Amino acid sequence: MSTTVLVIDDSATIREQVIRTLKEVGLFENYLEARDGLEGFKTLIDSKADLVICDVDMPRMDGFKFLQLVESRPELLGVPIIMLTGMMDFDSKIRGLEQGASDYLTKPFDVGELVARVKVQLKIKSLQDELKKANELLKRLTNIDHLTNLFNRRYLAEILDGEFFRARRNKEELSLIIFDIDYFKKVNDTFGHQNGDIVLSAVAQLAQRQLRAYDSAARYGGEEFVLVIPGTGLSGAVMAAERLRQAVLEHSFPAPMEDLTVTISLGVATYPSPTVDSVDSLFRRADEALYRAKQNGRNRVEVMSEPTL
C-alpha cells in the first residue's frame, strides 16, 4: 500500500532536509509539502497522509492552530502528527500534546532520532488501523445474519430508531416494507432445509439488489424480511415492493429446485401518516398490510390502511 508523509514548515531548507532524510530510508512513497498550517490543512484534506511532520512556529497559521483544525475533522483523527520546534518550552510541548500531537522533535534535529520517531508513529498507526479493522469486522459479525448476509433483527431496531428520528426531525418521509416467502415450509419439506437456506439467501440477495446505498435490508426471523427506505413515500415504496415481488417470481433456482417458483407477500407502510407516529406504529401498519396480502391470495403487495373520515 502506498504511504504518504506531509511536511509542513515555513523553511524550504527544513522541508528539504526532512524529506531527504526520509527518502534515504525509504519509509514513504509520496512526499507532500506545505509552507504553513493553513496550506498544510488544505493539503491534508485533499490528499490523505499517513503521517504529518509540522513546525510549531509559522506565519499565517502556526502548528497549534493546525492541530485544532485537524481535531475538528473526524476523518483526520488518527493521523499521527510529529511537531517540530526550536523552543525548549515544556509548556508548549504539553499544549501541543493535549491538542492532538503524537510526538515532538526539537530543531535542529538529529536525523537518526527523526527516523526513529517516525518509525514508532508509523508502527502505532499500523496497530491502530489493524485494531480498527478488527473492531469493524466484529461489529459486522454482531450485526449481520450469517445465512443471508443482511442485517439481523437486533440491528434492525437500531436502524429503525435512527431513521425514524431523522425523518421526524427533518420532516421527511420514511417507508417500511415487510415481506415473507409464501409457503416456505413446503420448500423445506420438499427439498430439505439445506435447499431452503439456498432459497432464503437468494431472496435476500434479490432484496439487496433492489435497494439504494442508504436503504437497509434485514432478516427479521425465519422467512420474514424488512426493508427500511428513507426519503421515500408510499407510492415509491410500493413500486420498490412490486419490483422485488416480480424479481423473486422470475428467479430460477439450481437443481433440484429448477422447477420451483417462489413468491413473496409484502406489506408497505409510510411515515408521516395519521396512523403512524412512532416506530412501533409504523411497523404495525406494515405488518397488518402483510397480513392482508396473505389473506388476499399471497404473491401481492398491500399497503397500510388509512382511517376513513
Q: Which residue matches cell numbers 426531525?
A: 169
Superfamily assignment of 4-141 in CATH?
Answer: Response regulator (3.40.50.2300)
Class of domain 153-303: alpha beta
Q: Which one of 71, 223, 224, 288 is the catalytic residue?
A: 223
CA–CA gap between residue 42 and residue 35 (Å, rounded) = 11
Grid cell digits, residue 196: 431452503
Task: Please say if 250 is a catalytic residue.
Answer: no
Instruction: Specify the pTM.
Output: 0.62
Q: Do domains 4-141 and 153-303 have the same CATH topology?
A: no
Grid cell digits, residue 229: 427506505
pLDDT tens for the chain, 309 residues: list them. Answer: 579 999 999 999 999 999 999 999 999 999 999 999 999 999 999 988 999 999 998 988 999 999 999 999 988 988 999 999 876 667 777 888 888 899 998 888 899 999 999 999 999 999 988 888 888 778 777 899 989 999 999 999 999 999 999 999 999 999 999 999 999 999 999 999 999 999 999 999 999 999 999 999 999 999 999 999 999 999 999 999 999 999 999 999 999 999 999 999 999 999 999 999 999 999 999 999 999 999 999 999 999 987 544
Domain boundaries, the chain: 4-141, 153-303
Which residue type, as a one-letter code, is found at position 207? A
